[in-house]
Amino acid sequence: MNKVRSLAVAIALATGAAGTLGASVAHAADKYPSKPIRVIVPFAPGGSTDIIARLVTQRMSQELGQPMVVENKGGAGGAIGAAEAARADADGYTLSIATVSTMAVNPACRPKDLPYDPIKDFQPVTNFANTANVVAVNPKFPAKDFKGFVEELKKNPGKYSYGSSGTCGVLHLMGESFKMATGTDIVHVPYKGSGPAVADAVGGQIEILFDNLPSSMPQIQAGKLHAMAIAWPEEIAAVKGVPTFKQAGFPVLNQPVWYGLLAPKGTPMDVVNKLRDAAVVALKDPKVIKALDDQGSAPSGNTPEEFAKEIKEQFDWAQDVVKKQNIKLD
């Protein structure tokens, strides 16, 4: 009888403790945030990741009532900043920006020495924005549309070269994925960033360029590059008449890049949802939408579950391309 009574008392105490703990967690979430929030951008200031992060988090700060302080931690293709973010306390006060590079390409190219796991170490909050990719050619290239472009490449395996922003970057993988999907053979020429690759494509040192659309757009609009296809859900007015990869018959290539918000794994979902709600408000602000559009990007604001799915799909894609094309870092 005493044992039964003791067990009953233990259960009651445990239940009470759990209830108290649950109440304290909820109370903490209600008070969140009570101090500034640090946001790690794993790249240098001034690039697309940094610009989009500052734009959206500044507006989120107004909703949350606390500043979101961007801190740039560049290096190793974003791995240094991402690793620091993965090790942070799961209290909602250290967040980070996710990109296709940090969450898919780096893990695929560095499976043995990357100091974080893109799937296990983070809690996705939301995708801030998507940006189109493009394949473009020098105006002297003999084909003027996507169908003719692929036909020309198939007739001349190994003749043409394409530039990307660097070995085992997302644009390199885009080029290799293009080769796999179309059955073509083009030679990769890696550059240290998109700028030099764009310059050489305009100058004719390389015939083909895989790039983010914003960095190529001025040259495309000036007629110094011809866009063949874009990775985007629909045609873009600024490059009127250029088909999406899906329209061209290659939906597997129709993958924009994205920039999103992450918390460390274990962050309370009440906190995650509060951050996501603030992001949704920010991404509906006309000023934010206009500023994103000026960057060649469009707002997303999807759910944590949807963003987690996007990350996993992109990670699986990158692993597949790296393995099948035997891509290795120099």
Q: Does one domain contain both 241 and 223?
A: yes
Q: What is the largest CA-CA distance in the chain?
A: 93
Whichever domain contains 92, its CATH number is: 3.40.190.150
Bond prior to 33 in cis (omega within 30° of 0):
yes
- Per-residue confidence of the chain (330 residues) as pLDDT tens digits? 444 344 334 334 444 444 444 444 445 567 999 999 999 999 888 888 999 999 999 999 999 999 999 999 988 888 999 999 999 999 999 999 999 999 999 999 999 889 999 999 999 999 999 999 999 999 999 999 999 999 999 999 999 999 998 888 899 999 999 999 999 999 999 998 888 999 999 999 999 999 999 889 999 999 999 999 999 999 998 899 999 999 999 999 999 999 999 999 999 999 999 999 999 999 999 999 999 988 889 999 999 999 999 999 999 999 999 999 999 876
Structure tokens at 300: 């997303």
Q: Does one domain contain both 245 and 263?
A: no
Q: Tell me the residue range of the domain where 125 lies.
A: 35-131+256-325
Q: How far apart are CA 39 and CA 208, in angstroms?
A: 36
pTM of the shown model: 0.83
Of the three residues 206, 232, 253, the one that is the final residue of a domain is 253
Q: Does one domain contain both 81 and 165?
A: no
Centre a 10 Å sphere on the Cβ of residue 156 and count the other Cβ atoms it contains.
Answer: 13
Centre a 10 Å sphere on the Cβ of residue 35 and count the other Cβ atoms it contains.
Answer: 9
The total domain count for the chain is: 2
Q: How far apart are CA 139 and CA 315, in angstroms?
A: 34
Q: Does one domain contain both 115 and 173?
A: no
Instruction: Kindly write down the DSSP assignment for every residue of 17-37, as one continuous string.
Output: HHHHHHHHHHHHHHH--SS-E
Q: Does one domain contain both 158 and 146?
A: yes
Residue 25: inside a domain? no
Whichever domain contains 224, its CATH number is: 3.40.190.10
Q: Does one domain contain both 180 and 220?
A: yes
Q: How far apart are CA 329 and CA 154, in angstroms?
A: 27
Q: Does one domain contain both 121 and 261?
A: yes
